[in-house]
Amino acid sequence: MATDRDIEKFIGDSFSSVWDLELLSQLLDHPGQATTANELVERMRSSELIVERGIETLVAAGMVTVEGDGRLRFRPIDEKVAEYARRTREFYARFPGRARRLVVARHSPGLDAFADAFRLRKD
């Protein structure tokens, strides 16, 4: 069973934006259902570019597949990735601020270190 530390590392390694976490959540809300990028744009109230980038990220991380007709489906490459994806969603629901910081820290580690210097206690 993956620990919160394992999930934190997975988030930092696998997601390039908070929108990717939102996209994963949308797909997990409708398990087994294939959906189009346009449907996700509408449900997430997002832009096509953000959804397209999110799809690329989740495909590269092995969490989703794009079918021949362009529909997207949550279909992880193995059971470990499936568990981590589901646990990531749970972690994001419990600790949204922490999950966001993990994603942001991936792109600007210096900024995270600077913010930590002013923190009285660690999360």
pLDDT tens figures, 90-111 = 999 999 999 999 998 876 656 5
Model pTM score:
0.82
Residue 6 has pLDDT above 90, yes or no: yes
Closest CA to 6 of 102, 117, 72, 96: 102
CATH topology of domain 4-117: Arc Repressor Mutant, subunit A (1.10.10)
Mean pLDDT for the chain overall: 89
User: If 0-12 CB within 10 Å is exposed, 13-18 middle and 19+ buried, where does residue 85 land?
Assistant: buried
Average pLDDT over residues 58-85: 95
Q: Select the more confidently predicted residue: 69 or 123.
A: 69
Residue 30 has pLDDT above 90, yes or no: no
Average pLDDT over residues 3-24: 94
